[in-house]
Structure 1
């Protein structure tokens, strides 16, 4: 029998999508594991490279925003390699080009704004502090999923959301918190609020994407997932490019490259690998929305954010005081609470399906 997440992906009429119906349990788990790998590796690498960019002399917030979506053309490779579905067309009327364009444009604009807020947040925060604040996105997503996606809001999920909120609050009131180079308290507060706001907006984006797949697009295939990622990233990249030139930051890019702490080649490679890592992370995020749910996708993001502070200690020698340790443990506790709830839901689903199957066999006999 398939796990709970497998059963959650349903089309509008309540049946499994044609794409996932073909997958057995092990294929489904492999797809989930692959997307988790993309998300965790991509997100951790992108945060560390973003901090490295600022530490070595980079200062363009719009460039840091642009590289988060600029590598979207590489997604055309899997899009062309994935064969078209051979299933007969569904009786549901697909959305018009205008509707799809409006969805992609709106989500792309939100993504650009979200990426900008994340860039400002990382500018004045250490990688470990930034990651722990970002972990609050799970609490935000639990709320948005409840109101937008009709996600169950159980005691364990509520416990997870509250614990993650406490984790962020500890970081906020920590008197020893400071930026990577001793920035002022005012700049620290700005970065904290930007990161917190970006986490909330990011969670809203995940729920809106899931809602679009279920209610508007109505074709939950991986090709559609890739198309959404490509076109929203295209819009976000255009917005970021306009911001880069309108702000005048493009004039300082050459000077950034010349004065970059580890050299010109390192400057270019940092931006390139940041772009690739962000795109890898985005594929994993949207893939998990497609295969499981937006809340599960955000939980895996939170796991990565709980791991990143340890990596920042190794690579950037970030200070991990007692408050940060407690905040990180709370983030892990919040994640475990949600996973345990997922386990209970899966156990209940298995029991129910076994009872239904047994009743059906008895009636057939």
Structure 2
């Protein structure tokens, strides 16, 4: 009787254990299914067949266009009119991060267009990656500021296009980017554009800039291009685990906070905040009001630039984002010539033509690929 009772108790415990394991498996599976459903729900944001895809892509490219052109010209305007703090120029590149609150919080709290709460899917891994990449971005911003303070806008813009060949190389290693005739042709043409500029740039030192300072600016700009070439494929790899555009903006928010903290520490150690007041009142030759308008406009336009870059990488790939930015450098060259009377000789003209040629060939290659994919899908449906 006692043996029967023990066996019965043992069987009950065994059944309870099995039920518990099944329940745990069900809960685990349910969690996985829910996560998969969330990803599938938003996966079409990256799909060219989605109705919202093209409008989102165009909006991000417009942000990139306006931000890239305006921020470069405003940064140069600051230095031309006796602004001298490279930390200020670095600080404004990321300090506009509060503007990201609008695309992060308005869809849920104001527009009611989504049921996903902001930062609800943010985890420790994403936070760590965002902070680390943000610090790298802050260093890149500093290099860009040093380069832009010593070089003409047109020279700086075309030098930055040299990052494209490194972008292709790193994209192959980090995200397994396939090399095609279209992207290789584009990279070669844009790289040749930069080489032509480098051969012709030795005589083009701005007034008051020594030969040593010119070469410092030259190599800082190259360093900024290299860091940016690394930044793009790293972001593409990170975005593979991100399933919606709102999460991209959330990561961008954390990154720019990190970059701003780095710039703030540098400014504090270098006396930059105190210098801003003195610079606006006594040094900047356009007056205090124009000084602060220039600084605040730079904050906004840099934010547009980074938002557009992040969106382009998420919606397409890091190489496409890099090519689009490089193509916009042609507009920066023309902007520098029109606004600041930078020289525009034969070498620079050929460089610009090569840059535009490379971009157009890449866009055509993308168009052919899209047509082929649509034809393939049509054949499968039939």
Normalising to structure 1: TM-score of the pair? 0.86
Residue of structure 2 aligned with 1:61, choices 76, 86, 91: 86
Deviation at 1:225, TM superposition (A): 0.9
Residue of structure 2 aligned with 1:35, choices 44, 60, 75: 60
Moved over 6 A (4+): none
Write the mapping of 1:17-166 to structure 2, written as runs, cut at 5 A.
17-21=40-44, 25-83=50-108, 85-86=114-115, 96-97=123-124, 99-166=125-192
Deviation at 1:26, TM superposition (A): 4.3
Segments of structure 2 that go 5 or more residues without pairing to the other structure are 1-34
Check conservation: 1:134, 1:195, Cα contact below 8 A.
Answer: yes
Check conservation: 1:121, 1:190, Cα contact below 8 A.
Answer: yes
Deviation at 1:337, TM superposition (A): 2.3
Cα distance in 2 for residues equivalent to 1:26 and 1:188: 48
Residue of structure 2 aligned with 1:260, choices 272, 284, 289: 284
Name which of structure 1's ranges 157-166 and 106-115 shifts more when overlaid on structure 2.
Answer: 157-166
Cα distance in 2 for residues equivalent to 1:189 and 1:78: 40
Cα distance in 1 for residues equivalent to 2:169 and 2:235: 15
Higher helix share: 2
Q: Which residue does the alignment assign to 2:28? A: none
SS in 1 for 2:94: coil
Cα distance in 1 for residues equivalent to 2:203 and 2:161: 17
1:208 and 2:230 matched: no
Check conservation: 2:44, 2:50, Cα contact below 8 A.
Answer: no
Deviation at 1:185, TM superposition (A): 2.7
Check conservation: 2:144, 2:221, Cα contact below 8 A.
Answer: yes
Cα distance in 2 for residues equivalent to 1:355 and 1:327: 43
Residue of structure 2 aligned with 1:230, choices 250, 253, 263: 253
Could you report, residue by residue, the CA deviation over 1:21-73 in whole angstroms, capped at 9, with x for unpaired residues? Answer: 37855432111111110000011000000000000111111110010000101
Deviation at 1:95, TM superposition (A): 7.0
Q: Which has more radius of gyration?
A: 2
SS in 2 for 1:181: coil
Segments of structure 1 that go 5 or more residues without pairing to the other structure are 1-11, 88-93, 359-365
Check conservation: 1:39, 1:301, Cα contact below 8 A.
Answer: yes
Check conservation: 1:140, 1:161, Cα contact below 8 A.
Answer: no
Cα distance in 2 for residues equivalent to 1:186 and 1:167: 24
Could you report, residue by residue, the CA deviation over 1:231-256 in whole angstroms, capped at 9, with x for unpaired residues? Answer: 00000000001011123344432331
* Number of equivalences: 336
Q: Which residue does the alignment assign to 1:7? A: none
1:335 and 2:335 matched: no
Normalising to structure 2: TM-score of the pair? 0.82
Cα distance in 2 for residues equivalent to 1:102 and 1:25: 32
Cα distance in 1 for residues equivalent to 2:39 and 2:243: 10
Cα distance in 2 for residues equivalent to 1:233 and 1:260: 27
Deviation at 1:335, TM superposition (A): 1.0
Q: CA RMSD in A?
A: 2.2
